[in-house]
Structure 1
Amino acid sequence: MSITVVNIVSEQTIPNIVFVKEMPSANRYLFVTTQKMEEKGITDSIIKVCGIPLHQTTKLPVLENSFQNITHRLQELNLGKNPNEEYLINITGGTKPMSIVVHDFFRQFNSRIYYMPLNSNGFMLCNAEQQDETIMPVSCRLSLTEYLQGYGFEIANQTEMNRLTVLPEFTGLVFEEKLLNAPEIVLLKKYIETFTKEQHHQPGSISLANPPHELIALPNFLYYTIKFPVQDKNLLNNREIQYLTGGWFKEYLYLQLKSKYRLNDSNIGINVKLVKNNMAIEPHLIFTLQNSLYMGYTVIAPRKTELENTIYRLSGIKKGRNFGLQSKGFIAIAEIFRNKAGNIQFDLSNRAALQDVLLYDRLSLSQI
């Protein structure tokens, strides 16, 4: 039997990508699209992620709100002539007129029509005569690269996105025993802040053999107090500087999430550099789970303004729908950040919720 898979193209690409990957391999892939979607390259992104040979694809541009035009364009395809043809239809995307017309048009043929409800990871079979409206979960699990490419993003530092600075055991100790809550690290942060203001860039390295006078106590602290595993005993490199001044918390959370959700390297990244046209985004943590995207930023002991700025930055990324309705944002705080009643400071937590960003502190990290 010949199979044609039909998708309605919209800015929400993940339901279409998952549908193609979940359905049997088809002879033909029909994309009901619009001029706007084609100008944005949405269909091409879907085809690329799914690895569909171009000669098996058909793009059908329609007027998105015209019942008459959509019907006429479908009729032009002269479908339904082959009695052995089966049509697998996904009506999740597109405008309401597009979904209605596609549903009604293909219902006359040998077809199965599906819909993915919002916030689900499965499809419903659209059949009014069928009493069972169970959402059928999908087995497809998109990698981080696949999800991001579905929205036109590429990972610029693919080979670096799973690289850790030190062994996981040391990072665990840093969190549990607060090894870096020390005056030497406070002075290191102040030194970097001053250096950056004066030189307009952060230091690429710091000598431990002949440290700046502000950091005279740093080598002994690293060597003997916490036994920090420096790569070069005479020098702190850039990665180590970043780790000591807050990067350790990113690595700790990365390890916790990877273990909790049993993620492999293709599903999670740390300090990932995302690029799309002239847009560049560098979330501290990003991972895919059940075909949803989770993007987070970490802070150590934030001032209120710092946390507010982080909330607005993350919500701004999400508001642009750069990563679809399946994306979720969170901010993780390394320290306890609670009021006297034991709750995360209400005004900030409430503000984060309004921006569709979840806020966690040291006591609630396990809830991420």
Structure 2
Amino acid sequence: MKTCLVSLVSDQTIPNILVALHFRPDFLLFFSTKKMEEKVKTKAILDTLLMRGLDYTSNYHVFQVNENSLLDLQQQFIDWTAKTGDAYNYIVNLTCGNKLMSLSAYDLFKEYEATMVYVPIPRNEFLIPFPKHRPKEPTLLKERLSVEEYLTAYGFSINNKSKTIKNFQKAKERRKITEFIINRYEVLQELFYTFIQDLRELIKKFPKNGYAYSLGKTLKNDSEREMLKLFGFGYENGKFIKNLDKSECRFLCGGWLEEYVYIAVEEALGIKGNVMIGVEAIDRKGNKNEFDVIFTYENSLNLIECKSLDPDEGSEFKVGIIDFYYKLGALRRNFGLTPNAYLATTSKEVYDQTGNIKPHLIERGKQFNITLVPYDKLKNIKEFLSKT
């Protein structure tokens, strides 16, 4: 007899996807609601499974039920089976949906001797809690989702995949430079503030043929000279010059920090995770969301926002962190997406007079599940991330 997996649809799509990938059933039944279908949650689940080669286009059915009724879910299923005459071995994922939907599904499918499973989020395993006096040992969920699969599961699509590959390649090529910068940033920061002041506005309307940049600043130390040499600057008529492309311009205006963090995270994860840099994701309404560094690890989503700002622009830093809070709030409110989040910054504005991170930033971060990664932690970010 064929197998049918029954899933209760809610904002949290990952448990339904992981269980489907584990059992790979013949047919999918979804008990959803009007609100969840307006959010296209079922479609997001199906799209993610399709990315793994599981095409259920002709092998699924959605019941749109009254989430506050025990009987509606059951009656719709009974009417459907009477009409189709289909018979299956049922597996019921009780993880998602609200409590009434779970109770109704359990009450209904126990009569069909269904296997009931439950995923204790965020663990990558499922339980078979019944019969309650003889529960089985947890079963591991071995599948791990990539960044693109995770975003697809929440209704996003990546619209700059080819660019992210180029971002990755550039980060690899410039690794030596980013490591040089992070290890000498305290004596290089004045040089980078000059880059920001000279080039920041240029990025918005960057010339197609590049920009002939001439650095008028008087260098103050050997590290600044070494940095310019590593980046390929020439010297002519008393000025350091280089024809910059847009990627190089972004790098000098703070993109170096994104590349440094990306390489560090990739090496920390190894084959256990997936990481991308400079991702532009479009939501179902066409809104664009930009992520500096984004990675999955053990089926959790993690965002790292990178801020390299002027120390005398405390207000700009505050705007940056508030923007990041707003971004996370919107993701949670609109999509049920609850990533682990980090704010990596070289700004000294995060410290108080005693050299500790300002308490109000720590407390505000806790409210949004954001961990602040200041400069003194950035140099050992691989170790820092392994402890968080």
Q: Under a length normalisation based on structure 2, what TM-score does the superposition of the two structures give?
A: 0.81
Amino acid in the other structure paired with 1:359 = L
Q: Percent identity?
A: 24
CA separation in 2, counterparts of 1:325 and 1:90? 20
Deviation at 1:223, TM superposition (A): 7.4
Go from structure 1 to structure 2 and tell me whether the alpha carbon gap of 1:367 and 1:179 turns closer, same or farther (over 3 Å shift): closer
Match of 2:211 in 1: 206
How big is the alpha-carbon RMSD for the aligned residues of Structure 1 and Structure 2?
3.1
Match of 2:363 in 1: 350
Match of 1:98 in 2: 101
Match of 2:42 in 1: 43
Match of 1:328 among 323, 337, 340: 340
**Any idea what the Cα deviations from partners look like across 1:240-297, whole Å, max 9, x if unmatched?**
1111221111111111111111158x92111111112221111111111111111121
Amino acid in the other structure paired with 2:62 = K
CA separation in 2, counterparts of 1:225 and 1:73? 68
Match of 2:68 in 1: 65
Deviates more, 1:296-305 or 1:270-279: 296-305
CA separation in 1, counterparts of 2:71 and 2:97? 16
Amino acid in the other structure paired with 1:67 = L
Q: How does 1:214-363 map to 2 (within 5 A)?
A: 214=216, 226-230=228-232, 234-263=242-271, 267-276=274-283, 277-301=285-309, 303-320=313-330, 321=332, 322=334, 324-334=336-346, 337-363=350-376
Deviation at 1:31, TM superposition (A): 0.8
Deviation at 1:9, TM superposition (A): 1.0
CA separation in 1, counterparts of 2:355 and 2:218? 39
CA separation in 2, counterparts of 1:245 and 1:257? 21
CA contact (8 A) 1:315 1:329 kept: no
CA contact (8 A) 2:194 2:217 kept: yes
| Structure 1 runs not aligned, ≥5 long | none
CA separation in 2, counterparts of 1:134 and 1:338? 48
Match of 1:158 among 158, 161, 167: 161
Secondary structure of the structure 1 residue equivalent to 2:371: strand
Amino acid in the other structure paired with 1:331 = L
CA contact (8 A) 1:283 1:297 kept: yes
Deviation at 1:190, TM superposition (A): 1.6
Higher helix proportion, which one?
Answer: 2
CA contact (8 A) 2:203 2:250 kept: no
Q: How does 1:122-201 map to 2 (within 5 A)?
A: 122-127=125-130, 129-130=132-133, 135-161=138-164, 162-165=168-171, 166-178=173-185, 181-193=188-200, 196=201, 201=204
Kindly tell me the number of residue pairs found equivalent between the two proteins.
357
Deviates more, 1:253-262 or 1:164-173: 164-173
CA contact (8 A) 1:207 1:234 kept: yes
Structure 1 runs of 4+ off > 6 angstroms?
79-83, 220-223
